[in-house]
Structure 1
């Protein structure tokens, strides 16, 4: 599981099914962690939380939570990453135009974004199968900002009317590229359709 640093906090959560632990130890890259003013450890029943305040680059890495009781030992693994979270598309699926589409998405990243890759392609469909067109790639350089949530948009022009498309996005900050977003499908209006596609 990957956990993305949220603003200045990194919160790592671990739960063990039907287990109340007598001993819980957190590790970062195989080294045991001790609670400090910046690293808070909390246990409630079978839920264990490690909260990191004022996240620093040295906090990023692999974490594990080991819980022990009279029945045995259990271990969970997590990664705290400074990379951006995967893009979430926010556009409505149906275009307001026949030959263009305004794609909108949000990426969460505490460090400023350096670059965004947007890829889109047409999907050709008939009653029996579908075929994908070639990817078109757009490289975007986001405006510098201090916000944690980065809302971006790009107006794709020259699209074919009454068609189906899909897009993916990937963002980069000083810690690297995030995971590629989920595929997002969108549609252009056909001739004679109103704005709501009826």
Structure 2
């Protein structure tokens, strides 16, 4: 049995919404959707999978606002991030899996790449009642480097005294979650929406079977 499971968050435990659509709910500009779309494009361009350094999120938002001749301040950005985070939807399997692993005494770490203020995402996690399941929560915006950096995974392991040999990483992104963890010798489980083949992942699980399969894999003994 693995004694530790590291989880990604966005689109692994929580289906994230749209930065573009949520801006209009907290900002009255007629260009809100366009600005939000531009923010999404900047994030995609500035954060290719191999990038491990963390950029200033406010600079990204400010650049998008200024493109449309509008002022930006941190309060607007935080309200936008809070709206974006709150509209994420937990998958049906999320709570059952966390409950089951917790009851088995398996240590859990949340290791998530985010662009934004750490406090906003932590408050959302707390409001959902998810924080209590994790022995350690690590937002990359807080530590200054992102997955797939081996430093991020090593920090997760060190924070709870675990070793790669007895740890399982669960995520949905091949580059950041699967390859990154594999490079450090951590076993990996890739969550997919449909049948897929991934040469890097030790296990590939379809979301519809996630509740049973994540527990089954976590209990495997080499």
Give the TM-score taking structure 2 as reference length.
0.19
Which of the pair is proportionally richer in helix? 2
